[in-house]
Amino acid sequence: MSDTTAHEEPELIQLLTPEGELAGHPDYPLDISAEEIRALYRDLVLVRRVDSEAVSLQRQGELGLWASLLGQEAAQIGSGRALGERDMAFPSYREHGVAWCRGIAPKELLGMFRGVTNGGWDPHEHGFHLYTIVIGSQALHATGYAMGVQRDGAVGEDGTAVISYFGDGATSQGDTNEAFNFAAVNNAPVVFFCQNNQWAISESTERQSRVPIYRRAAGFGFPGVRVDGNDVLACLAVTRAALDNAREGNGPTLVEAFTYRMGAHTTNDDPSRYRASAELDEWKAKDPILRVRRYLENNGLADEAFFASVDTEAEAIGEQVRSECRGLVDPEPLDIFHEVYAEPNVQIDRQRSEFAEYLASFEGAGAEGGR
């Protein structure tokens, strides 16, 4: 039997302790100003606010569903802020913090969870692909995109790197493992960013993997590293190094951000059925926002006025999220037929006109629904 199991905690790359002290790491030196750290703090607070507002909107029936990122803010902001303008991200469905870093307005995300769109933003404009619901699919897309980057000769110091996000559960999928292999044999400029939030709905990481996830990479022939996923500085430094490595032509890296999903899997889920509350308490002590705040406070790098201004901004964003969500208009029935094909399609055209005629038959019929 193997000497390590998935739940064992091997060394984590950590730059900032839960107590808010800079730890530093010889392999991942981070040259960062106080101003940049304050900016990260602001990101963390604001995405948490967007997220909590969305959870309440779902409770009020304004959203069909929401997948909360609570607890995973540092993994997402750290890695998201490591991305360069030309880089391309391939998210799953919980990457609201990365979306934030890529300039996707919260209302775009809300539209999808409200059922008004299926995503709809321009992936190329933002360097951020559409959310992917079918687990693991996007790891292959990222790898293929990275193979395209190679063929374009866009590798080198100013090159493009690609990042794919997925959870610990996704590492069980064939697609994810095939992506690892394609990336390795092609030396593709892609970073696999696994947010191990300990749970795949009700199944713990041990139901997905017998070894720590970052170690899987070795079997495919590329490096894997485990980072403290609640440490925004470590996530930034490690992802930046992995992206630079990829962009310079040295191939893929698997980054396992060791973190915790503090809320339910989605607003449909009831975690009390499968996990103990003590676990949650343990992770609360490692809160990704609190430690940055402690660091800034302890070192006199931010005053009360700064924290108050971020809170004010969070209030405003919360308000904006609420009003924008309620303002999202439903699509027209005939939108069902739009954008199915690039070329004209007689079959769709016929169904659209038949349906238009059918809808028109109710007009003037008075009572809703006709009969």
Ligand X SMILES: Cc1ncc(C[n+]2csc(CCOP(=O)(O)OP(=O)(O)O)c2C)c(N)n1
By beta-carbon proximity to ligand X, the closer residue of 198 and 253 is 198
**Closest Cα to residue 124, out of 171, 98, 87, 170?**
87
**Token pair for 267:** 């607003």
**Residue 274 sits in the site that holds another protein (CB under 8 A):** yes
CB-based burial label for 164 (10 Å; 0-12, 13-18, 19+): buried
By beta-carbon proximity to another protein, the closer residue of 70 and 200 is 200
Please select the residue that binds another protein; options are 17, 56, 117, 150, rule is CB under 8 A: 117
Task: List residues with catalytic annotation.
Answer: 261, 265, 274
Q: Print the binding letters for residues 124-143 with another protein: x by CB under 8 A, - otherwise.
A: ---------xxxx-------
**Residue 29 sits in the site that holds another protein (CB under 8 A):** no
Q: Hey, which residues between 243 and 282 contact ligand X (CB under 6 A)?
A: 261, 265
Question: Is the four-CA dihedral 101, 103, 201, 164 of positive or negative sign?
Answer: negative
Please select the residue that binds another protein; options are 22, 39, 105, 201, rule is CB under 8 A: 201
The region of 45-53, 102-110, 114-122, 130-138 touching ligand X under the rule CB under 6 A is 130-138
Orientation of helix 73-82 relative to helix 232-245, angle to 10°? 40
Minimum CB–partner distance for residue 137 and ligand X (Å): 8
For ligand X (CB under 6 A), the number of binding residues is 16
The region of 15-23, 104-112, 119-127, 197-205 touching ligand X under the rule CB under 6 A is 197-205
**Residue 186 sits in the site that holds another protein (CB under 8 A):** no
Please select the residue that binds another protein; options are 6, 139, 170, 314, rule is CB under 8 A: 170
Q: Print the binding letters for residues 52-91 with another protein: x by CB under 8 A, - otherwise.
A: ------------xx--------------------------
Binder of residue 197, out of ligand X, another protein, none (CB less than 5 to 8 A by kind): ligand X
Binder of residue 115, out of ligand X, another protein, none (CB less than 5 to 8 A by kind): another protein
3-state SS of the chain is: CCCCCCCCCCCCECCECCCCCECCCCCCCCCCCHHHHHHHHHHHHHHHHHHHHHHHHHHCCCCCCCCCCCCCHHHHHHHHHHCCCCCEEECCCCCHHHHHHCCCCHHHHHHHHHCCCCCCCCHHHHCECCCCCCCCHHHHHHHHHHHHHHHCCCCCCCCCCEEEEEECHHHHCHHHHHHHHHHHHHCCCEEEEEEECCEECCEEHHHCCCCCHHHHHHHHCCCEEEEECCCHHHHHHHHHHHHHHHHHHHCCEEEEEECCCCCCCCCCCCHHHCCCHHHHHHHHCCCHHHHHHHHHHHCCCCCHHHHHHHHHHHHHHHHHHHHHHHHCCCCCHHHHHCCCCCCCCHHHHHHHHHHHHHHHCCCCCCCCCCC
Q: Print the binding letters for residues 198-227 with ligand X: x by CB under 6 A, - otherwise.
A: -xxx--------------------------
Minimum CB–partner distance for residue 72 and ligand X (Å): 8
Please select the residue that binds ligand X; options are 106, 169, 212, 288, rule is CB under 6 A: 169
Minimum CB–partner distance for residue 169 and ligand X (Å): 3
Q: Estimate to the nearest angstrom the gap between the alpha carbon of 134 and the chain centroid.
A: 15
The region of 140-148, 254-262, 288-296, 331-339 touching another protein under the rule CB under 8 A is 331-339
Contact residues for another protein, defined by CB under 8 A = 64-65, 93, 112-118, 133-136, 169-170, 172-175, 200-203, 207-209, 268-269, 273-274, 330-331, 333, 335-337, 340, 347-348, 351, 355, 358, 362, 369-371
Contact residues for ligand X, defined by CB under 6 A = 94, 133-135, 166-170, 195, 197, 199-201, 261, 265
